[in-house]
Amino acid sequence: MTLKLSSFLASNSQFSEESGKRLLLYVSFVQCFCQQYHVSYQPDTQLEGLLPLLFRQVPGYAIKEAAVTFDSAMPWELLQGNSQLAVSLSHFQQELVRSCCATPAWLLAQLDDLFEADNILFDVSVTPPTLCTLIARLASLRPARQIVDLCCGTYSLGLRTWRELGSAPGISCLGEDINGYLCSFARLLLFLCGVYDFSIAERDITLPFTEPPGPHTPTIFTADFPFTGNRTRATSKDTPSSRIYADWLMIRALLGRMHPGDRAFVVATKGALVRKNECALRAELVKNDWLDAVIQLPPGLYPDHNLPLELVVFEKARPSSRSGRVFFADMSAFSIPGTRRAKKLSPSGIDQACRAFQSFVCEVPFSAVVPKEAIEHAGWSLYPLTYLTQDNLPSRSLRLGDVASITRGLQLAKGSQVCSTPRYLLNIRDLQNGEILFETADQVEVGSVSLEEKYRIQEDDIILTSKGSALKIAIVPPNPPASYLGGNLTRIRVRNDRYSPYLLYEYLISE
């Protein structure tokens, strides 16, 4: 019988916390190593320090260091103060030895299973397994000799891509992440899964990158960037916008590392594809012919947020059969129930996306192939529904009140008292270039429950000026600071079940 970590967790409540999961995975790594390399140890062997001991004979300093780092991150003190926990862990260890199930395939299945059971690992968001499958299958449609997984975490996305490419020994697996523990985890996982040529660097991908000398290897980049919220950063002089959101900073860092023939598969928020602030950056992508595809994903794939997401595919020096055009697809209808907190991509949706992407054909309303001139005409929007069907575009017969509520802002005297839990009061000056500058807004005290309900803004609200001749429009980003709508602003709150706020936003900012 195959042992499942999720089942063991469900029947042993003392392992429910993050520290308990780390201990179970540590034992799993130990047994996976021992089973592959025919190593045995006494049942009463102390676990602490065992993994570094096993890896002592493995060539390479980086993998030895990874074992030490991984070992030092374990909450060994829990075993010393909790005899029941120690007994349960020993029982799990014995079951692994007895079942002989600790293979690389089993280890990968357990990571997917843990996501299905709890939806999050190591206190960080993990790329959903079915989304990993979609990206890996799309990436493997053409061969490559190297995979670079940026913000790689456990390297589950890059590893899935490596397996889809046939697990060939000649394929290099490189990764980068700012979390040292996850870097160690990724190194150990790659080693145990049989990847011979790998390197995981602990670094911030937005910092300058020095490319190693030697000939370039055809590369697939994969990236599920961390959610960066509404933070913007100043940019260099060669960037079209003076300040851009952090997600675009990471995208530009990735593009700067790509060579002709390289491809990149990036999970991005919908805001990155429509925000006016980065319009010039999107135009640069399309004009340079670096954008290959944009695929809208179903909502609810991630348990810790419900943000609208897209899969964006980049390629430099695209084949002539695809050059000058962009593939758009809508997978929003292709989700199936997963867990209580998250959905999954359906197998039929993954199959259709791969087939349409490879053939590069229109299958309206699922997909469309759009010339770059049409994208320019649409104001460089990369929102798929803009191009998939004319029925999605606002018409003269559309009555705004049928799909949205409209609220005028709060009239509040200046200089209102600031308390310990203030609210920002947004004004016309706080809307600049399609972006809301919360840092310039006045702060006021928290109002009554009725004020909170009526005037507090939320994600996907469309904010526009209600006074003066100069029209300013912005869409509220995810997780905005607690803020009220000021008296000279108007809010349009679209009912998502009736219409897309992003389509309305596109319509409002169009010429």
Q: At 174, is the secondary structure helix, strand, or coil?
A: strand
Taking the chain, what is the end-to-end CA distance rounded to the nearest angstrom? 64
The top-scoring range by mean pLDDT among 2-11, 70-79, 272-281, 497-506 is 70-79
pLDDT of the residue at 37 = 92
Report pLDDT digits (tens) over 127-151. 999 999 999 999 999 999 999 999 9
Tens of pLDDT, residue by residue over 26-35, are 999 999 999 9
**CA nearest neighbour of 464 among 404, 418, 505:** 505
- Summarize the confidence of residues 243-254 as an average pLDDT: 87
Helices 104-118 & 129-139, crossing angle to 10 degrees? Answer: 130
Q: 337-386, pLDDT tens digit by residue?
A: 887 678 899 999 999 999 999 999 888 889 999 999 999 988 899 999 88
What is the per-residue pLDDT across 443-454, written as a single tens digit (0 to 9) for each?
887 767 777 888
* H helix or E strand, kind and range, residue 296: strand 291-296
Residue burial 227-246, b: 16+ Cβ < 10 Å; e: rest = bbebebeebeeebebebbbb
Mapped onto helix, strand or coil, the DSSP state of residue 3 is coil
Domains contained in the chain, CATH given:
5-118 (no CATH), 129-392 (3.40.50.150), 400-509 (3.90.220.20)
Q: Is the pTM value of this prediction over 0.85? A: no
Conformation bin of residue 300: beta by default, left when phi > 0, alpha when psi is -120 to 50: left
Report residue 398's pLDDT band, with 50, 70 and 90 as the boundaries. Answer: low
Q: Is the model's pLDDT at 393 over the cut of 50?
A: no
Q: Are 281 and 240 in contact (CB under 8 A)?
A: yes
What is the arithmetic mean of pLDDT over 293-322? 90
What is the H or E stretch that residue 309 is in? strand 309-315
Q: Where are the alpha helices (DSSP H) in 404-500?
A: 449-455
| Averaged pLDDT for residues 302-308 | 77
State how far the Cα of 432 lies from the Cα of 275, in Å rounded to an integer. Answer: 12
Instruction: Round to whole Å and give the CA distance between 313 and 138.
Output: 9
- What pLDDT does residue 81 have? 77
Over residues 429-441, the mean pLDDT reads 85
